C-alpha cells in the first residue's frame, strides 16, 4: 500500500515580479527553486510553513533576474547549500551573487535530469530575455510539479515535456490592456509583450489548456505583475477561458492564486 505521507509537499513561498521562491519536500529531500527575496524574508516564509532554511539541501536557480536571484548569495554563504544553475546563468549572475565557494557552484544544464534519490529535478529551457533561462519539473515516483514563469511563450517542445503533471505554477503576468494603459515605458511594454517577455493572463490560460491532463490536481497562477494585473482579473480570465473550453475548473483540479507577499500553505500533491 502506498504511504500517504510519501508524496511531494510544496509551498509557493513567493510569486510575482517582486520576488520568487518555491519549496519542495519529499521524505528524503528538501529543495528550493529560486531565491528572489532577501535572506531574512526567505527565513520568515519558511518559518511560516513550519520549515527552516537549515533543512534545505539545494537551491535551483532559473535565471539571473533579481526577482529570482536576490537571495542566492546569502543563502549559499549562510546555509552552505549547493546552488544549481546552468553555465549561462552562472556567468550572468556572477556579479550579483558575491562570493560562493567553488564546491557549492553546481551545474545543471537545460534539458537535464538530476536524480537526488526519491526526488528528481528536470530542467527545460524557456524563451525569456535572460542569458539562459530554464525552469524545472520536480518528480517523485509518478508524481510531478512544474514551475513555469518568465517566458514569452510556451513552445511545443516544452508542452510535450510538462504535459499532464499533478501540479503547476503557471505564469499569468499581465493583462495586456492594463499593460498598454499603464505606467511602463514603451520599450519596457514591448519587452514584456514580446516573445522573450512574460505570459499574459490569456497566454497563461492557453498554455494551461495545452498541458492540463487527467492527473492534474492543482494549478497556481503566478508571477503576477504588481502594476499590470490584479488577482481577481487573472483568476477570472483564466477560469472563464478554461471553463469555455470544457475544463473542470475546481472540479477536476483546483485553480489557486500564488501571492507575492505571503507563502501558500505547505500542500501535498
Residues near Zn ion (CB under 5 A) are: 65, 67, 150
Beta-strand ranges (E) seen in the chain are 9-14, 21-25, 30-33, 58-60, 83-85, 105-107, 113-115, 120-125, 134-140, 143-148, 167-171, 218-222, 254-257, 267-268
Q: Which is nearer to Zn ion, 16 or 167 (CB)?
A: 16
CB of 148 to Zn ion, least distance (A): 12
> How many helices (H) and strands (E) would you count in the chain?
9, 14
CB of 235 to Zn ion, least distance (A): 20
Q: Which is nearer to Zn ion, 84 or 253 (CB)?
A: 84
CB of 64 to Zn ion, least distance (A): 8
CB of 75 to Zn ion, least distance (A): 17
Residue with the closest Cβ to Zn ion?
65
Q: Which is nearer to Zn ion, 29 or 70 (CB)?
A: 70
CA distance 202 to 51: 35
Q: Which is nearer to Zn ion, 67 or 203 (CB)?
A: 67
Report CA-CA distances (Å) from 125 to 9, 60, 143, 171, 253: 24, 14, 21, 15, 26
CA distance 263 to 42: 10
Place of cell 498554455: 207
CB of 37 to Zn ion, least distance (A): 12
CB of 96 to Zn ion, least distance (A): 13
The residue among 144, 190, 146 whose CA lies nearest residue 171 is: 146
Tell how strand 143-148 and strand 30-33 pair up: unpaired
Q: Which is nearer to Zn ion, 43 or 67 (CB)?
A: 67
Q: Which is nearer to Zn ion, 158 or 242 (CB)?
A: 158
DSSP-assigned beta bridge partners for residue 136: 123, 147
Amino acid at each position: 500500500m502506498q504511504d500517504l505521507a510519501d508524496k511531494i509537499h510544496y509551498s509557493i513561498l513567493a510569486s510575482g515580479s517582486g520576488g520568487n521562491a518555491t519549496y519542495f519536500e519529499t521524505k528524503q529531500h528538501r529543495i528550493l527553486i529560486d531565491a528572489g527575496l532577501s535572506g531574512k524574508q526567505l527565513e520568515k516564509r519558511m518559518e511560516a510553513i513550519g520549515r527552516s532554511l537549515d533543512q534545505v539541501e539545494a537551491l535551483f536557480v532559473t535565471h539571473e533576474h533579481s526577482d529570482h536571484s536576490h537571495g542566492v548569495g546569502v543563502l549559499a554563504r549562510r546555509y552552505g547549500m549547493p546552488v544549481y544553475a546552468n553555465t549561462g546563468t552562472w556567468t550572468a549572475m556572477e556579479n550579483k551573487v558575491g562570493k560562493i565557494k567553488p564546491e557549492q557552484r553546481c551545474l545543471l544544464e537545460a534539458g537535464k535530469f538530476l536524480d537526488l534519490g526519491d526526488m528528481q529535478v528536470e530542467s527545460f529551457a524557456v524563451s525569456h530575455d535572460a542569458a539562459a533561462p530554464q525552469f524545472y519539473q520536480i518528480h517523485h515516483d509518478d508524481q510531478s510539479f512544474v514551475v513555469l514563469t518568465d517566458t514569452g511563450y510556451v513552445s511545443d517542445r516544452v508542452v510535450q515535456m510538462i504535459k499532464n503533471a499533478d501540479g503547476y505554477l503557471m505564469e499569468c503576468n499581465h493583462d495586456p490592456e492594463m499593460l498598454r494603459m499603464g505606467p511602463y515605458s514603451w520599450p519596457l511594454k514591448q519587452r514584456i509583450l514580446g516573445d522573450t517577455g512574460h505570459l499574459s493572463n490569456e497566454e497563461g490560460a492557453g498554455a494551461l489548456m495545452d498541458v492540463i491532463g487527467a492527473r492534474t490536481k492543482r494549478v497556481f497562477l503566478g508571477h503576477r505583475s504588481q502594476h499590470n494585473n490584479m488577482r481577481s482579473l487573472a483568476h477570472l480570465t483564466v477560469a472563464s477561458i478554461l471553463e469555455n473550453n470544457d475544463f473542470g475548473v475546481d472540479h477536476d483540479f483546483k485553480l489557486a492564486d500564488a501571492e507575492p507577499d505571503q507563502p501558500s500553505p505547505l500542500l501535498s500533491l
